[in-house]
Amino acid sequence: MIHASIRSLTALAVVGLGTAAFAGCGNDVPTGAVAKVGDSTISQEEFDKWFKTAASGQAQAGQTAVPDPPDFTKCVAAKAKAPVPSGTKKPTTAALKKQCKTEYDTLKREVMQFLIQAEWVEQEAEKQDIKVTDAEVKRSFADQRKASFPTDKAYQEFLKTSGMSEEDILFRVKLNELQEKLTQKITKSATKISDEDVKEYYDKNKKRFAQPERRDLRIVLTKTEAKANEAKAALEGGQDFKAVSKEYSIDEASKAQGGKLPSVAKGQQEKSLDEAVFTARKSTLTGPVKTQFGWYVFEVTKVVPASQQSLEEATETIKNLLRSQRQQKTLDDWIKNFREDYKADTNCASDYEVAECKNGPDEPTDTGAASGGQPQGQGQAPPQQQAPSAPQPQP
């Protein structure tokens, strides 16, 4: 929902003050820009805008301090006021400054990842002639806003405290709409499953569509054989299972159900008990049977024979499974090439290099949704609640 999506952005990112000092020339990155993707640039102004928005969100999320480079004076001062657990040494100014810088670097990196991946999505959508109209964006926004905010006042209050404008939110919604359409187009061919595909899968995995014999039992489990015989004698004497189970059984789960143990599948229990259960006659008191857990006295109350689901019965399940597998593989393969292609065409300014940049650090790029930078341990939103990067599978 958009409320959660908005939070995932505004809980992110970096303090927007003082960032202009970092902008500079990277590989083919013009002055006044932080990155270049193909012929398009991500401007310093654009970075600062999202940077400040995310900083407001971090404050809204209750962070003790927002990093303020380069000296982190306010950040260090705020952290120094935080209570220290009893028996723990108060951290030094140097340690606090290091912590502030780490938070700053992390948040700055994540804002960059958001902007770069957003640019990738927009460029790819244009390349594949995928469009999202203003009407579609507004309709989706209206639906999600209605579901997320009970009143207009609550929404307006959110805008005031989050630092986001409605334009920012609409941009996020547009990215999600583009992602959905890209995903649908990329995986469309993978949705076609033939009857031959279904039959081949069924023949190779027939056991998956078989159900073993199952039996409902009433049991009493005791620690000793002597107690088991006492329980059996009580049952044979006319007492009901509920009363005998309550008095003798050490199995709390079945005792709470009056001794009932439903739907026991063949091969599910310890060997000695399994053999006894599945050779016993229905409505015949059996035992004691020794197991590693104790001694069982039981009665079979219902028998459900083993069954094999037919090809016809299994067809819809198999189609859905194969469709899901093929869509996922198609999407995974596409995303891998998508990221490699766009990374090779993405250059970043000095001090703005991230994994998505051709001149960035040599580390795996995150194929998850670009959230704009939510630090680990800060209540990261689920993927479906974050803004898109490379298109992801839709539920």
DSSP assignment string, 185-220 = HHHGGGG---HHHHHHHHHHTGGGGEE--EEEEEEE
Helix (H, G, I), strand (E, B) or coil at 344: helix
Cβ atoms of residues 66 and 75 within 8 Å:
yes
**What's the CA gap between 118 and 338, in Å, rounded?**
13
What is the pLDDT, as a whole number, of residue 74? Answer: 87
Q: Which amino acid is at 350?
A: S
What is the pLDDT, as a whole number, of residue 395? Answer: 29
- Give burial (CB, 10 Å; 0-12/13-18/19+) of 181: middle
Annotated domain spans of the chain: 2-190+323-385, 213-305
What is the pLDDT, as a whole number, of residue 82? Answer: 84
The dihedral formed by the CA atoms of 250, 255, 258 and 259, expressed in degrees to the nearest 10: -50
Cβ atoms of residues 181 and 132 within 8 Å:
yes
Residue 294 burial (CB count, 10 A): 19
Residues 6+ apart with CB under 8 A from 20: 44, 48
CATH 3.10.50.40 matches 213-305: yes
One digit per residue, pLDDT tens: the chain, 395 residues? 444 433 333 333 333 323 333 344 445 899 999 999 999 999 999 998 888 887 777 666 555 566 788 899 988 998 888 888 888 888 999 999 998 898 888 889 989 999 999 999 999 999 999 999 999 999 999 999 999 999 999 999 888 877 788 999 999 999 999 999 999 999 988 888 999 999 999 999 999 999 889 999 999 999 999 999 999 999 999 999 999 999 999 999 999 999 999 999 988 888 999 999 999 999 999 989 999 999 999 999 999 999 999 999 999 999 999 999 999 999 999 999 999 999 999 999 999 999 999 998 876 555 443 333 332 222 332 222 232 333 333 32
Helices 166-187/311-344 angle, 10° precision: 120
Residue 373 burial (CB count, 10 A): 27
Residue 230 burial (CB count, 10 A): 17
What is the pLDDT, as a whole number, of residue 20? Answer: 36
Selection from 279, 270, 390, 263 nearest residue 332 by Cα: 390
Give the distance from CA 26 to its chain's centroid: 35
Helix (H, G, I), strand (E, B) or coil at 54: helix
What is the pLDDT, as a whole number, of residue 169? Answer: 92
Q: Which amino acid is at 215?
A: R
What is each CA distance from 95 to 76, 91, 105, 189, in whole angstroms?
9, 6, 15, 55
**pTM confidence score:** 0.64
Residues 6+ apart with CB under 8 A from 164: 6, 9, 10, 53, 56, 57, 158
**What's the CA gap between 221 and 111, in Å, rounded?**
60
**What's the CA gap between 131 and 187, in Å, rounded?**
17
Consecutive H or E run containing 307: strand 307-308
Buried b (16+ CB within 10 A) or exposed e, 105-142: ebbbbbbbbbbbbbbbbbbbbeeeebebeeeebeebbe
Angle (nearest 5°) at CA 218 between 215 and 224? 120
